[in-house]
Structures are given as structure tokens and as C-alpha cells.
Structure 1
Amino acid sequence: MTKLKKFRYIIALSCISLLFIQCSDDETVNLGDKPVADFTADDDDMTVEVGTIVTFTDASTNDPYLYTWRIPGGNPTYDNKSSVAVEFLAEGEQPITLTVRNDAGADEITKIVTVNPLVIPDLEGVTPTVKMTFDNNIENSGSAGGTGSGGSSTYEPRSKFGGMALKLNGTAGQDVLLDNYKGVNGSNARTVACWVKTDATATTALVHWGAAGTYSRASFKLQNSGVIRFEWQGGGMNAATPVNDNAWHHVAYTYDGSTVKLYVDGVLDASVASSTINTGVAGETGIYIGSQLGGSRYIGLIDDVRIYETALDVDQISFLAGIH
């Protein structure tokens, strides 16, 4: 090989080598480290009651930018944000899995939340005759006992208390009749309380008993203006604060034999003196939940319906309103 040819050969090899080196550099661009998955919870011990909402936040290292949460026992069961708020409605050990990714790869971590049965607080020293929690049934766990008839067979999750709530759409036969208990009659003291969630603009009944007749019936109602009302035939009074904003509200009325009081979210909203109430004088009936003797049918969610044979005070009403 001549010197010129040899020189040209060396130059060609050098160019090819340089090209190869350049290509190799392009193919091995430093992508950094793949992420190491981790997350935190705003409940440090990861032990909660049914209905609790826990917020989980990504705490992974090495800058992931894609997130996949899988929470089969929660609501929601899936999310792809860096932080997610989860409501736990099922008891037991519930896995929470986070998968994170960046350009260098992916990593995954699973942690366990222990979900305990809900411990429902209750008033001390006073027992309701009616306590309907509508936890997928229409059983009365109050002292009067029994199981209602009717009902819509449609329940929706409600945050924490009771787990579920009864959904009514105003259809005939969906109201619940508890026929083995005739309510509080005459001018005897009483309390009726429940949780409602509705956007209805029609006059409907929440809890009713007593046949039609002067001063006879006892109707706890929702007016078309959205305020609650306690009505006895020949009289009645409205509250001032509307509750038909499609949010949960605790509503109640008490009667101690001389004064009617209406409460919204644990706060006294209106009161009036009355000594004319004589429930059942025209005939006793069972307890209707979601209607007035089958009419004025309620539209919305209702939960934790309670009747006491005493007039609860403001602190006791406030306690009931604090059970979420």
C-alpha cells in the first residue's frame, strides 16, 4: 500500500470512529435516576373509621411526573394526580398503591390503611323511639323497634354516619311507613330530627304522624321556599334558613308542651308559643317518613331520622348535628 493510500485509509477510519463515538454519545444521553416511589397521608397512623376521608400526597424522589393511584376499597378507586383525597367506605385492610414514572423508569409502592367499623356516638340518658339510619335497610333501631314498609330500595353513600342514606324521588310507595309505633300524641313533649340533602322546590313532608283534624296531625315538612316547617292542623311555623341547596343539613323541631322550636344545623332558627297541639285527637297513625299520609312526597336524600319522647335542649340538638 502506498503512503498516500495508507494515509487516506487512516483518515477514513478516523472519521468512522468519530462518527461512531458521536452516535454512541447520542444514544446514551443521561436520563437521570428512575424514581423511588413513596407517599404520605394526612392521617399519620393510617388507621381510620368507615367514612373517613384521607388525603394521600406523592413523596417520591427523583422527580417523577406521571402518577397512578389504585385504591380498590376507596372512593375514588383510581386517580392520576400527585395528590388524592379518598373516602373509605369499606372496613378492613385497604391497600393504596402508587406507581410513579419519569424518563428513566418507574417504581411502585403499596401501603395499607386499616379501616375500622364506625363507632357512632349517641346522646347519653335519652333513647329515641325511632332511629332510622337507612344503612341499606329500613329497620328501626330505636326502642320502638320494628321494620318499616315501602322504601325506594335506593341508597347512596353518605359521609361517615350510617354509611348510607335513603334516596327518594317523589314516587308513590317510596315513603317509609313504620306502622307499629303511633308517635307522640296529645300535647306530650317530643323531638323529631333528621339529615336531609335536597334541591327540591316543592312542599314535601319529612316525618309525619296523626290523622287530619284540628290540632291533630304532626307534620315536619320542607316548604317550597326551602325552609323547614312544623305544622299541626290549625297552626304551624316556618324556620328562616333555607336548606334546599343540595348540601347535607341537620334539621329538627322540639315541642315541650308550650313552645315549638325549629333548629337548622344545630342552631335554633325559630320558635313560637303554642298550647293547642293535640296530636292524634282525630285518629292515630303510624310514622310516615318521606310523605304526609302518602302525599306531599319528599324528593332527595334523608338519613338518621329520630323521634324522642322528650324535648331535647339546644346542646343535645347540637350534638346530633355534629354526627357527620
Structure 2
Amino acid sequence: MTNAIKNITGTGLFGLLTMITFFSCSTNDDGYLKELSIDTARIPEATFTATGTSVEAGSTVTFTDTSTNTPSLWTWNMPGATPDYSNAASPTVVYESAGVYDVKLTTRNEFGADEILLEGFIEVTAPPVIDIDTEPQVRLNFDDNLANDGLVNIDATSVGGTEFGIRPGGGGAYNFTGSNNLDIPGYTGINGAGERSVALWVKTTHDSTSGLVHWGNTGTFSRSSFKYQNSGVVRFEYQGGGHNGVTPVNDDEWHHVAYTYDGDTVKIYVDGVEDFSIAGITDINTGNTGETDVNIGSQLGGATFIGFMDDVRIFDTVLTPDEIQILSEIK
């Protein structure tokens, strides 16, 4: 339930002058003050609207000032939002976590100020839980930890410090700074020419070649590298060859990227849509001597990624287009 709390005041010198100007006084016969009132007609009356009051986590909400008497200053307090404070007339914010939140607006002009507090005005619900039935070998959710929720009972480790962030929807994310890439010690990925899929969320403005998810060594056809190119597209590389996607993903927005390999055909997906496909790739063998641990955010410890990742998954099967589409919708 939304409760509105109002408070009208005269503010500063202008408010004091307003109060003096608009006092109306009368006295009783004995000369005592009978009535004292203030004309608040020129003070703003704070009101506002919102583009939504019941929204899903990760949603954007715009508040619009509708106050009377032409305010010239605004102060918004919006706990739970990003940002949670603004002096704009009509701020736009993001609510990233489920909950019920108050919103307070204070408006001012030269005659005074008014504020309104709407308690419980914004209700944010968690996004629906959707997923696929196929179990990954590795799943890193980055909810303030490096735990692996996949079938392989090995957690990730950082070569430097750890730094976490938030992805819209309220989930965690990992912030790759260029010196804190991850390894999964003792896990060498999908070997030989076995079926595989890799899927993850990424957010970056990076413009240098770097690793996203890699395993294998430096021998010809012995590498399975999902990379980020300096042109902003993603690439599947196998040492001795590789193939680029088409759609850049370095626009500082969250994108879901994935690839599949079935022993013959490589497919690259961006935001749930097939971005590139090529058949006849039959020489991949990521099971040679010298196999390395899986690297996240780098390739063989070099070419480090800068940006955010979330929901990194490695599968020992080929995901269907429908499954990849579902993964791209998970917030």
C-alpha cells in the first residue's frame, strides 16, 4: 500500500518574505491577535508520476515531476534504485533487486518548498526462474563467490584479487580488470573432438583481443578458445584456424554469447540468435599432451579480458538453438 506524506514550508529569505507578505491578521476588540494565516498559493505542491510502480528486477523506471507552481529545484530520494538520488526534474533509474521501496520528492521555487513521500510506492519482483534441463560441467554465477554450480566439483580460482558487480535482475557478475582472470584447476574442459557448448553473459567496451573461455595447448587443432576480438565480435579458435562472429558486443551493454561444436560444425550465437556457422571443421583434438586448465577471462594466462561476465557455462553436449535462446533470456 502506498502512503503519501506531505510537508509544505517556506524556505530561506524568499520563504520568509512570502510568509510576511501573505500573513492576514485581525484582532479582537481587546487588541489580541485573532487569526494568523499564510497564503501558500505560490509554493509548489509536490506531485509526481512514474512509468511503472510494479516492475520486475532489472527494469528502468522514469519519474516525472508534476508539481504545481513551476518549481525550479528538485530533490529525489529513491532507496533501492540506481542512482538513488537525483536533482533532475524527471530522473530515470534502474531497480536491480526485488523489494518494496519508498520515493520522496522535494520541490522548491522562490516562494518555498514542498515534499511528498510515497511509502511503498515501487514494488520490484524477482524475474521468473527459467532454465534448461541440460546440466553443464561448469556454471559460474558469480554471486559474490567463485563457486562452480556445475557437475564438475571444482571451483574457480583467481590469479589476482576478486571483484564482483551486479547484473540487471539482481544477480552477481565478475569484474575482470585485466589482472584477475580465473582458472579452474585440474579441469581441462571437453577433450578430443567431443561435442561442446560454451555460453556466458558479457558486458564490455574492451577493444583488444582477449580470452573469454579457453582450454587446450598451443599445438595445431589442440585449442578450444572462445575469444573476444579487437573489433568487438566474438571468435571460436582452435590453433591453426578460427572463425569470427558478425555482431559486435563491446557497446557497454549486456550481451549473451555462445558457441557450439558437434565434431563438424561450429556455430556462434549472440543474444540467442545464430550469428555465424561453418561446417567441415573435423580436425579439432583438445586432448593432446600438455593440456591446460580451463581459463576464464584469458587465453593461456595472457590476452586478458577487461569487462564483466556472468553465468559462464561449459557443456559436454551441443545445445539446441532453443536452449541457447532460453539462456539468453535468463536475467
TM-score (norm 2): 0.79
Correspondence list, 1:298-313, <5 A? 298-313=305-320
Cα deviation, residue 191, structure 1: 0.9
Cα deviation, residue 161, structure 1: 5.8
Cα deviation, residue 205, structure 1: 0.6
Bigger shift: 144-153 or 72-81? Answer: 144-153
CA RMSD across the alignment? 2.6
Bigger shift: 55-64 or 307-316? Answer: 55-64
Question: Who is 1:249 aligned against?
Answer: 255
1:143–1:117 Cα change, 3 Å: farther
Question: Who is 1:225 aligned against?
Answer: 231
Amino acid at match of 1:59: T
Question: Who is 1:21 aligned against?
Answer: none
Residue 210 (structure 1) aligned with residue 213 (structure 2)? no
Quick check: which one's helix share is greater?
1
Taking every aligned residue pair, what percent have the same amino acid on both sides?
48
Contact 2:97–2:170 (Cα < 8 Å) also in 1: no
User: Equivalent of 2:136, from 125, 128, 143?
Assistant: 128
Cα deviation, residue 91, structure 1: 4.3
1:72–1:161 Cα change, 3 Å: closer
Contact 1:74–1:88 (Cα < 8 Å) also in 2: yes
Contact 1:212–1:282 (Cα < 8 Å) also in 2: no
Correspondence list, 1:1-324, <5 A? 27-28=21-22, 32-43=41-52, 46-111=53-118, 112=120, 113-123=122-132, 125-150=133-158, 152-160=161-169, 162=171, 164-171=172-179, 174-273=180-279, 274-324=281-331
Give ranges in structure 2 of 5+ residues lacking alignment. 1-19, 24-38
Amino acid at match of 1:222: Y
Distance in 1, matches of 2:257 and 2:209, equals 16
Distance in 2, matches of 1:177 and 1:268, equals 28
Amino acid at match of 2:91: V
Cα deviation, residue 103, structure 1: 4.5
Larger Rg: 1
Distance in 2, matches of 1:265 and 1:184, equals 24
Bigger shift: 90-99 or 76-85? Answer: 90-99
Provide the secondary structure at the position in 2 that maps to 1:83: coil
The number of residues matched between the two structures is 293
Distance in 2, matches of 1:32 and 1:184, equals 74
Provide the secondary structure at the position in 1 that maps to 2:243: strand
Give ranges in structure 1 of 5+ residues lacking alignment. 1-25
TM-score (norm 1): 0.80
Which deviations, in whole Å up to 9, do the C-alpha atoms of 1:61-116 show, x marking residues without a partner? 45444321012322112112222222223443322111123455332222222334
Quick check: which one's strand share is greater?
2
